A and B are shown apart, each in its own frame.
Chain A
Amino acid sequence: MSIPRQVTRPNHSARTLARGLGWFSIGLGVVQLVAPRQVARFIGMSGSEGLVRVCGLREIATGVGILLADDPKPWIYGRIGGDALDLAGLGWSIEHGDEQANAAIAAGAVAGITALDLSCAKALDAEQVPSVEWDYSDRSGFPGGTAQMRGSVEAEFAAARAEPNGYSPSLH
């Protein structure tokens, strides 16, 4: 009884995380598009507003890709590539920019998000590994069949039934 079969299962936690990262991407991208000057100034790269806008477009594109794709994995890898570019840019700013402390803070935040991206990608990769799923649909526990046992003790229990809070449901 109960036959095992090989299945691949979606990893729901990883997909929830991917959706979160997608929304985060879009949010960050919008900020970079709407306020490029402030972002560039914060990380000590004044004058690089165009570059910040391009990064914003990239963030929005990967975010939309993650949210719309059936398989978000390639888009998560896209984010990891973007993270590498961001870290390289922030590394340059830490060395040569005029807001080195801010750039270091931003690099720390990007490193944290990169760790999340990597763990998400790894979990999505694992979706392809087949696992064994057991079919227990033959285990009713009722030797006489489920349909026959439905309500089989109802009469016995009805006799001894106490209504909630001890009151009869009938109206007087």
Chain B
Amino acid sequence: MRALRWHGKHDIRCDDHVPDPSIEDPRDAIIKVSSCAICGSDLHLYDGFMPGMQHGDIMGHEFMGEVMEVGSANKKLKVGDRVVVPFTIVCGECDQCRRGNFSVCERTNRNKDIADKVFGHTTAGLYGYTHLTGGYAGGQAEYVRVPYADVGPVVIPNGLTDEQVLFLGDILPTGWQAAAQCDIQPTDTVAVWGAGPVGQFAIRSAVMMGAEQVICIDNVPERLSMARAGGAITINFDEESVLERLKELTRGKGPEKCIDSVGMEAHAARSIDSMYDRAKQALMLESDRPHVLREMIYVCRPAGIISIPGVYGGLIDKIPFGAAMNKGLTFRMGQTHVNRWTDDLLRRIQEGEIDPSFVITHSVSLEQGPEMYKTFRDKHDGCIKVVLKP
């Protein structure tokens, strides 16, 4: 089969003759991928900021397709079912899964020992996202093996296009969870840093959950125009001061709820602290650039909530924790507990409340995937979300 494979930093290739996956466990299923997408967090692998990738690893954790084969113990799926596969692999039986904390499933990470050592405790296995999370083959391929396929995959009813439902596997519930973690109240101002795909869904989720105003901070005009379309007031940080504008919009009080949809790769040349982070990154003294976190802690209204769907990978430096502690801020974060939200969000898509396809700007073949990584990373050609068709 063909698949997009990681061969090193900035080196992703569409390789032919990759071995087809096969059933390895009776609960497995094999999916023929009809659509997959490049996620912002894939760019962390592309840019070499996440350790634990190996030469030849198949990329991708946002995918859907048709069930081609099911294991003997899989009673949920049948051949021909159309499914969206959540990016977190969940067993459905461990203590965390039973509590709905699916992204920290205790059983699906095949390299649990490494994760236990690095993080203290393991997190769930993820598709195509380093050997720290199990080293599972990803979904930017013609076929993919889905472990624990009797738990995670969401069967899609007829009448919905791939474009409408593909993002149920990651970025739609990620934006939704980011907003839900904010406990939004009708008087709240919600500020969202980053108008990429997750930021766009966080904005729409916050609007639906009834925030008084939603403010989006970015510097890419196309992304800001899409954010305004979804109901946000926008701040272009190239053109105006984020701190001053947020003060003005909140009558000096600051946003009650702040969402970091940027994560570890904040712009490296826009502020002194970012340049400091970039220099430390180059010297391998820091793994992530937490400019957004610092700014959120500074502007957030005391007793507010900071919600972090943006991915961080390792160690960060110079976090004003004294401010965070004394202001009584609550931090909520984590990889998305996808299956906690999928049924509800699928219903909302079916009922026409939201159509996630608005975020797609590029739809291309799998062969064009490698060049699309660069286009997406550099935000060229108005690129916000890339869908690949194997």
Cross-chain contact of A150 among B210, B226, B355 (Cβ < 8 A): B210
Contact between chains at A12 and B238 (CB < 8 Å) = yes
Complex formed: what's the CA distance from A135 to B382 in Å?
Answer: 9
Output the nearest chain A residue to B219 by Cβ-Cβ distance.
A12
List the one stretch of B34-42, B95-103, B178-186, B279-287 in contact with chain A. B178-186
How many angstroms from the CA of A163 to the CA of B184 in the assembled complex?
10
Question: A133 — which chain B residues lie within 8 A by C-beta?
Answer: 221-222, 382
A90, B186: Cα distance in complex, Å: 67
Q: Which of B320-377 contact A (CB under 8 A)?
A: 330, 352-356, 358-359, 361
A158 CB → nearest B CB, Å: 8
Q: How far is the CB of B387 from chain A (nearest CB, A)?
A: 15
- A 48-106 contacts with B by CB, 8 A: none
Chain A residues with CB under 8 Å of B330's CB are 164-165
**Cα of A137 to Cα of B358 in the assembled complex, Å:** 11
Given A157-B180, A161-B183, CB of A139 within 8 Å of CB of B231: no
Assembly CA distance A1 to B142 (angstroms): 30
Q: Which of B200, B208, B225, B270 is close to A137, meaning CB atoms less than 8 Å apart?
A: B225
- Closest CB-CB distance, A1 to chain B, in whole Å? 9
Q: Which residues of A contact B359 (CB under 8 A)?
A: 139, 141
Q: Does B381 touch A at the CB level, under 8 Å? A: yes
Q: Is the CB of B208 within 8 A of A153?
A: yes
Task: Tell me the A110-163 residues at the B interface (CB within 8 Å).
Answer: 132-144, 146, 149-154, 157, 161-163
Decide if A163 touches B183 in the complex (CB within 8 Å): yes
Report yes or no: B209 in contact with A157, Cβ–Cβ below 8 A.
yes
Q: Which residue of B has the minimal Cβ distance to A139? A: B358
Counted as pairs of residues, one from A and one from B, with CB atoms less than 8 Å apart, the total is 104
Cα of A153 to Cα of B214 in the assembled complex, Å: 15
- Contact partner of B353 (CB less than 8 A), chosen from A135, A136, A144, A164, is A144
B207 at the interface (CB under 8 A from A): yes
Size class of A's contact patch?
A: 20 to 34
> Contacts of A137 on B, CB cut-off 8 Å?
225-226, 228-229
**B204 proximal to A (CB < 8 A):** yes
Residue B303 at the chain A interface, CB threshold 8 Å: yes
Whether A4 pairs with B210 at a CB distance below 8 angstroms is no
List B contacts of A4 (CB < 8 A): 382
> Does any Cβ of B come within 8 Å of A8's Cβ?
no
Assess whether A141 is in contact with B230, with CB atoms less than 8 Å apart: yes
**Residue B319 is within 8 A (CB to CB) of chain A in the complex:** no
A143 touches B186 (CB 8 A): no
Whether a CB of chain A sits under 8 angstroms from the CB of B269 is yes
Q: Mark B260-277, 1 if CB is under 8 A from A, else 0.
A: 000000000110000000
Contact B352 A144 (CB under 8 A): yes
Nearest opposing residue in chain A for B205, CB measure: A153
Does B208 lie within 8 Å of A149, measured CB to CB? yes
Known contacts A4-B382, A141-B355, A151-B208; A136 and B229 CB within 8 A of each other: yes
Q: Distance in Å from the Cβ of A167 to the closest Cβ of chain B?
A: 10
A152 — nearest CB in chain B belongs to which residue? B208
Q: How far does the Cβ of A125 sit from chain B's closest Cβ, in whole Å? A: 19
Q: A132-B382, A157-B184 are in contact. Are A149 and B229 (CB under 8 A)?
A: no
**Inside 8 A of A13's CB, which chain B residues have their CB?**
269-270
Interface residues of B in 290-328 (CB under 8 A from A): 303, 305
Using known A-B contacts A141-B354, A161-B183, A165-B330, determine if residue A136 contacts B225 with beta carbons closer than 8 Å: yes
A contact residues vs B (CB 8 Å cutoff) = 2, 4, 9, 12-13, 132-144, 146, 149-154, 157, 161-165
Identify the B interface with A (CB < 8 A): 180, 183-186, 200, 204, 207-210, 219, 221-223, 225-226, 228-231, 238-239, 269-270, 303, 305, 330, 352-356, 358-359, 361, 381-382, 384
Can you add 8 more A-B contacts, CB < 8 Å, to A142-B353, A157-B210? A133-B222, A136-B226, A141-B200, A141-B204, A141-B229, A149-B204, A150-B207, A157-B209
What 3 A-B pairs come out closest when comparing CB atoms? A154-B210, A134-B382, A151-B210
CB<8 Å pairs between A and B, sample of 9: A134-B222, A136-B361, A137-B228, A139-B358, A141-B204, A141-B355, A141-B356, A142-B354, A151-B209
